[in-house]
Structure 1
Amino acid sequence: MSKNRETLKIVVVGHVDHGKSTVIGRLLYDTNSLPEGAIDRVKRISKEKGKPFEYAYLLDAFEEEQKQGITIDTTQLQFFTKRRDYVIIDAPGHKEFLKNMISGAASAEAALLVIDANEGIKEQSKRHGYILSLLGIQKVYVIVNKMDLIDYSEETYHAIKKEFNEFLNSLQVTPLDYIPISAFYGENIASYSAKMPWYHGKPILEAIDEIPKDKDISHKPLRLPIQDVYKFDNRRIIVGRIEAGTLKAGDEIHITPGNKTTRVKTIEAWVQKDQTDVVSAGQSVGITVEDEFFNKRGEIISHKDVIPVVSNRFRANVFWMGKNDLVTNKKYKIKLATAEVEAEIKSILKVIDASTLSGEEKALRVKINDVAEIIVETKESVAFDEFRNSKVTGRFVIVDGYDVAGGGIISKAEEAANLKSGFVKDDLYLNSRIFDEYYYSVQDNSIKMFRQIISCIMWVTK
């Protein structure tokens, strides 16, 4: 692949046995993107085991290559067309897909959702459609596979298209198109199939070549989550990765949630040849600023005209994969961009059956593999964006103990709750300040501030 060519990430999902692996194997084969000798090796192994050759076995060949020490990621496969390069993110199943979403699939710009024409739409097909909508992936091709098993029936194809469209449209997801194929025989993969003359769309490889890339994120509002602050000689260098936008030396910047404004003094570089005054999305950078503020990991740098939201409460859609149920009034850790903060689930608004879109209102818990709408309250104010405006600063994970147990996207900010400093016991609260001292009065069974004693003594001595 050329480093200068455009790259598009596509996640491939589908119900077990609907032929997703065969679709991927065929894409690799038809674009000549397989390791040398992979086809011959798989054919030989199939023959030795007395099995017919299948393109799905090509993924097993990739796994074997990995075991032998060759760096090939079995969940992120690369292929290319004349137009551009592709990274396919393979999601093996519903549970595994949830994990993949947190670790990388959420970066996909488009999706192929595979449905078996013979079996029809299954619950898992609908769950995947729902999860794609949660991730904000709108560029979706529905691949109606195994058309050979229904004698390439146009009627069945249109029935599947009608039923699934009704479901996806209710999620505000409008597929780019439905493509009828037979992955096993290569029908409508790289070229048109004469066996489906009634289909007037494009085969898969031509169709995905026409998927528009997302807008260059370097043109979006600046988002630079602070990773750390380093002290070199007399310089305090703020470091982080620019997730969106462009930053120049001399720019006036705003730092949230600390509500500080300053200017970029310099953009630092390890070596002179890398010195620049302009950096943009995707680059890890170090900067110095004009004012000596206390900056810390988790704060977000932006331009002052378009700043992130600052609050300690937000509404979110989450997918849960923890061993223990997600419940209210329990301490969790939220990781949002570079911020890590203690939080509670204040309310579970709705637990949703992703296959029917029915839900349990005001639920008490969220079980493994459930999706839900919740209100999160953090112990301190954090900076974030709604997911539709900024994916990186609008996405978070939930840590239960030491395990990443769920992930979510922020749908909207809620009115901030009062951040109280004092003593809290159940519903009882006593306001306090840092230098206040308290004592327990046995006489009236109450807690009193120490200064009341001082006042009393002064009054008596008078």
Structure 2
Amino acid sequence: MDLVDHAESRFREVADEVRKYLGSMGITPAHILPVSARHGDGLANKSDNMPWFEGPTLIAALDELQAKPLPVELPLRFPVQDVYKFDERRIIAGRIESGRLSVGDELLFSPTNATARVKSIEAWSVDGPVMSASAGQSIGITLDDQLFLERGHVASHRSEPPVETNVFRARIFWLGRSPLEVGRRYKMKLATMEHTVEVQAIEQVIDVADLSQRPADRIERNEVGEIILRARAKLALDSFVDNPRLGRFVLIDGYDMAGGGLVSMEGFPDQRARNEPTSQNITAVEHRVTSDARWQANGHKSGVLWLTGLSGAGKSTLAVELEQALFRKGWQAYVLDGDNIRFGLSADLGFAPEDRAENIRRVGEVAALFARAGILVITAFISPYREDRDRARSVAPELFHEVHVKADLSVCEGRDPKGLYKKARKGEISDFTGISAPYEAPSAPELEVDTGALSLNESIEQLLGYVEANFGLNGRD
């Protein structure tokens, strides 16, 4: 600071640059401090040359930093290495990666979500019974229930389980002989788990010299990049920042270790089932009016036309225009729009990944009820996660039609009818799809409408043609 005459304006300017630079990597600095080592300004004592700065000294700021928790202080993670059978006992063997467990603890096993209590802890070369064990110990346990368990399952306490997901972000250091590319499949090893994962997207490559970022369609040897990986099955893991013991992995290409990575769940929800019915003594109502009878009365079939796409792609515009066109033809059609739903049904939800997932679950259930009542439901939701759209489809798969309203991010950002992209670029909106949160485009939609290439009238004509072909009844114009 002595080189700039301890100027507050210059400090603020540089501090803003540092925050912006670190923010691009998802890092928030605890403090940015003005100091001068030449005379000790701001190091151990407050500086008389900088009375405008009210923050801590360097020594005080360092004293505020919290030490990383020890593995034993983290939530329990006990990956199953193998299951052995001795006499009448089934011993689940493995190494406790973090936390601790005791006899009598109730354990949750992921990803099956089965539960049982620890009946005994078996240890080698130990005299007497073992009542507890902690991180770093290799042990065996027996349970009070005979569960199906296998290598790769993870035991935890019910109150602090790992994440269950089939898609996640990762920061990868690539060592493979061949470049990492979208669509390639690799074997992932995480703790005792092994699964095949596919590279769904390469978001950027990071220059290790200056940490700058650039878009890329491949990651070459010795490069660092941020990617999205998808598996066919649910995986039990943790974000690296939450629990490093279950947050790092390696990728195997053929028989070679091709890369190492750190798990990030930023922008993705935990897919662990949390919405199973808790009510007791409930019975589904049997309707006496069949779907065919409703269709004949209305003159058309019912269903769910699920419009998904980026903000600004034109979902709501198309939905409202289509609804009006069908109404003029005498059809029973109704639009469920994202913003309108959040005024009522989902007024209690925010835009965090878990809230987005719950919002789409609710809409999927409501849309299925409308469709079973004989109405053609047109939904207009970003619905960014493929897993959530698949769950909405599973409620009434025979009635569900997915429509990808396609437009490039640059096109959507150029339209920006609500000014949301500008706010997201400024950091005023967090978890904004396409900017700071992911959008997983449909892999096989029933229909794709490219609003970046088609006019509004052409898009509506394409939609109307699809609706008449798939929902119309013979003999009706």
- When the two structures are superposed, what TM-score results if normalisation uses the length of structure 1? 0.47
TM-score for the superposition, normalised by structure 2: 0.45
